[in-house]
Amino acid sequence: MTDKQPSAAPSEASAGGVYVLGGIEDLERVLNHLDSGVVAHAADTTIRVCNPRACSILGLTLDQMIGVTAPDPKWMFVREDGSVMPLEEYPVSVVLRTQARFENLLVGVDRPVQDDRVWVQCNGYPVFDDADQLQLVIITFIDVTEQRRMEEEREVLEAQLRQTTKMEAIGRLAGGVAHDFNNILTGILGYAEMLDRVLPEGHEGKGYASEILSGGERAADLTGQLLAFARKQVIEPRVIQPNDVIARSENMLRHLIGEDIDLDFAPGESLSNVRADPSQLDQVLVNLAVNARDAMPKGGRMLVETANVILDDEHHLMDDRPVSGEFVVLAVSDDGEGMDAKTQEHIFEPFFSTKGPGQGTGLGLATVYGIVRQNDGVITVYSEPGHGTTFKVYFPAVREERDEPVREASFPGGPASETILLVEDDEHVRELTRKVLADQGYTVLEAANGDEALLLSRRFSGEIHLILSDVVMPGLNGRELHERIKVTRPQLTALFMSGYTENVVAHHGVLDEGTNFLSKPFTLDGLLARVRGLLD
């Protein structure tokens, strides 16, 4: 007796050793239930076999497949980069030419009936007879359209993340440089201003002082632009009507761009208000106008438009978050030289410029980028070489009524008698500020850091009318110092000063409500006016 069972005899067998039990009907069932498309071509490319999944993927009927000689005019294949695939690169052509198999060829198929494109991953196999003559070319393929879409979205998100990370790193560097440089500029400008005041008219040194002031102010403008890019520029947002701000700036813009450029303003009707610092909106307009002017060296047309828009989870290269909601869009268009895609990837980076040496700082569009991000907005650019450029800046819309304009304080002059606690870790700035205040008649208690200031406050028996403190210092920062001193002097007012805020008295440069702030570098009159205004 034996345990071996008799085996069933195969009804059909292929030359390759694949056996089919039950005849050709079982083979059909297998093909009909495969999730992959299967197409078999004869040596003359005539389609001999086609399963239903192949018809479904390609968007064709069985009648449109069987007996057709490839390639057929109804088909349109494209390469992975989207370009038209030549006939010699069609999957069946590759196998016929090489007489070998291939794997994982990505092919795009334009489907005329569905009016869309699917992406398929193909494998190709040659089938030879006993005499090594090619008999069939079998092409199998799967639909990878959804996977490709997800991969493209992932690549877009990764590009956004890389761009945002790069810009944030540059911003931190720019902010740090600007912070230290503003301390230096405060001393340079302050002492140059004092020198200009004490020198008599006609003195040779007065002209030198004036040149120092002029150069220092240009340097201060540059650091201001760096801080705007880094989103550390101190601002005081208000509810404003963009159309009104732009209308007030129209004459200035016409003067800026010159007579050979036509400027048109198309204000949107019933435009929503936005919350922003009006001076920042002016900065955006000026920098975009200068960019448009430089793109039209032979003259042209610049159009400024505004409108209400709704964004729905839109992604942009310069932003790592989906943006949705009601916005006010400010669009600035020109019909100038335009930019290619490679240039557009870098235009918002500080110091990037397509101009020659000495023709620009490369900070204009970086400033715009920082302002837009600081105000929770989005900026996009549309441009092609020879076809002009359009920048679109989106600010979140608000429903509040616009605020009244703020009047600038002025310094009335005259002697003073109050006591000021001055806290500044930079020796040159501290000495300059002490001298300016003392010359005006104030009693100045000076400290190099928070601990010294606390000790002075405890030892001084008289009234301290104001604390004038730097924001970022070793040990206690300006806000912490003020809170500690207020325990014993609850009525004490503080005026903070800094090259930037480091988020101690502001969040991304937006001042906390009720905060008094003086940006470095400051003018002597500006310092005295702020101090006098708070004391009064």
Domain stops at, among 98, 121, 143? 143
> Are 166 and 25 in the same domain?
no
Q: What does pLDDT average to over the chain?
A: 82
> Are 46 and 119 in the same domain?
yes
Give 73's contacts (C-beta < 8 A, 6+ positions apart). Answer: none
Tell me, what's the pLDDT at 18?
47
DSSP 38: E
> Are 157 and 246 in the same domain?
no
Which domain CATH number covers 55? 3.30.450.20
> Are 202 and 243 in the same domain?
no
The answer to whether residue 320 sits within a structural domain is yes
Contact 363, 219 (CB under 8 A): no
Stretch 157-177: mean pLDDT: 72
Contact 242, 309 (CB under 8 A): no
Beta strands in 335-401 (DSSP E): 378-383, 389-398
Tell me, what's the pLDDT at 510?
61
> Are 131 and 194 in the same domain?
no
Domain stops at, among 229, 246, 274? 229
Cα angle for residues 295, 300, 306 (degrees, 5° grid)? 85
Tell me, what's the pLDDT at 139?
92
DSSP string, 119-159: EEEEEEEEEE-TTS-EEEEEEEEEE-HHHHHHHHHHHHHHH
Tell me, what's the pLDDT at 401?
86
pLDDT-derived band of residue 356, with 50, 70 and 90 as boundaries?
low
Tell me the per-residue pLDDT of 180-207, one tens digit each, with 9 for 90 and over: 788 888 888 888 888 888 888 888 888 8
Stretch 357-369: mean pLDDT: 71
SS3 481: helix
The answer to whether residue 406 sits within a structural domain is no
> What CA–CA distance (Å, rounded) separates 81 from 78?
8
Amino acid residing at 8? A
Name the residue with higher pLDDT: 345 or 391: 391
Contact 266, 303 (CB under 8 A): yes
Tell me the per-residue pLDDT of 504-530, one tens digit each, with 9 for 90 and over: 666 656 667 678 888 888 888 889 988
Which domain CATH number covers 465? 3.40.50.2300
The answer to whether residue 3 sits within a structural domain is no
Cis peptide before 86 (omega within 30 of 0): no
User: What six digits make up the tokens of 427?
Assistant: 């020796």
Cα angle for residues 17, 19, 21 (degrees, 5° grid)? 170
Stretch 12-26: mean pLDDT: 51
The answer to whether the Cα torsion of 412, 418, 421, 426 is positive or negative is positive
User: Among 18-22, 91-95, 217-221, 475-479, whose mean pLDDT is lowest?
Assistant: 18-22
Nearest to 313 by CA among 189, 157, 494, 468: 157
Half-sphere exposure of 128 (CA within 13 A, CB side): 9
Quick one: what percent of the chain has pLDDT higher than 90? 30
State the residue range of the domain holding 302. 238-398
The answer to whether residue 207 sits within a structural domain is yes
> What CA–CA distance (Å, rounded) separates 7 from 420?
107
Please say if the pLDDT value at position 164 is more than 90. no
Stretch 416-426: mean pLDDT: 90
Q: What are phi and psi of 299, to 5 degrees?
A: 90, 170
> Are 137 and 31 in the same domain?
yes
Amino acid residing at 445? L
DSSP string, 162-228: HHHHHHHHHHHHHHHHHHHHHHHHHHHHHHHHHHHHHSPTT-HHHHHHHHHHHHHHHHHHHHHHHHH
Q: How far is CA 304 from the centre of its chain?
A: 21
Print the SS3 string covering 174-187: HHHHHHHHHHHHHH
The answer to whether residue 1 sits within a structural domain is no
Tell me, what's the pLDDT at 407?
54
User: Among 77-86, 97-106, 297-306, whose mean pLDDT is lowest?
Assistant: 77-86
Count of structural domains, the chain: 4
> Are 216 and 351 in the same domain?
no
> What CA–CA distance (Å, rounded) separates 31 from 38?
8
Amino acid residing at 89? E
Tell me which long-range contacts 320-325 makes (C-beta under 8 A, separation of at least 24): 320/157, 320/160, 320/161, 320/163, 320/164, 323/378, 323/394, 325/396, 325/397
pLDDT-derived band of residue 173, with 50, 70 and 90 as boundaries?
confident
Tell me, what's the pLDDT at 140?
93
476 torsion bin: left (phi>0), alpha (psi -120 to 50), beta (else) = beta
Tell me, what's the pLDDT at 141?
94
Tell me the per-residue pLDDT of 384-418, one tens digit each, with 9 for 90 and over: 888 899 999 999 999 988 876 655 555 555 678 89
Tell me, what's the pLDDT at 229?
64
Contact 229, 367 (CB under 8 A): yes
Name the residue with higher pLDDT: 225 or 536: 536
> What CA–CA distance (Å, rounded) separates 110 from 493?
72
Tell me, what's the pLDDT at 341?
85
Which domain CATH number covers 316? 3.30.565.10
> Are 221 and 280 in the same domain?
no
pLDDT-derived band of residue 442, with 50, 70 and 90 as boundaries?
very high
Give 389's contacts (C-beta < 8 A, 6+ positions apart). Answer: 291, 292, 295, 333, 334, 336, 338, 339, 381, 382, 383
The answer to whether the Cα torsion of 366, 372, 376, 380 is positive or negative is negative
User: What six digits make up the tokens of 159?
Assistant: 């590009």
Name the residue with higher pLDDT: 436 or 403: 436
The answer to whether the Cα torsion of 483, 465, 438, 522 is positive or negative is positive
Tell me, what's the pLDDT at 220?
78
Stretch 333-353: mean pLDDT: 83
Amino acid residing at 54? A
Cα distances from 413 to residues 439, 519, 532, in angstroms, run 12, 21, 9
Tell me, what's the pLDDT at 326?
92
The answer to whether residue 77 sits within a structural domain is yes
The answer to whether residue 216 sits within a structural domain is yes
> Are 24 and 52 in the same domain?
yes
Contact 302, 256 (CB under 8 A): no
Contact 337, 178 (CB under 8 A): no
Domain stops at, among 93, 124, 143? 143
Please say if the pLDDT value at position 57 is more than 70. yes
Tell me, what's the pLDDT at 5?
40
Contact 214, 255 (CB under 8 A): no
Tell me, what's the pLDDT at 215?
85
User: Among 8-22, 182-196, 239-253, 299-313, whose mean pLDDT is lowest?
Assistant: 8-22
Tell me, what's the pLDDT at 412?
53
> Are 242 and 225 in the same domain?
no
Tell me the per-residue pLDDT of 447-472, one tens digit each, with 9 for 90 and over: 999 999 999 999 999 999 999 998 88
Tell me, what's the pLDDT at 398?
92
The answer to whether residue 20 sits within a structural domain is yes
Contact 307, 289 (CB under 8 A): no
> What is the chain's length?
536
> What CA–CA distance (Å, rounded) separates 519 from 495?
11
> Are 331 and 357 in the same domain?
yes
Name the residue with higher pLDDT: 306 or 130: 306
Contact 110, 136 (CB under 8 A): no
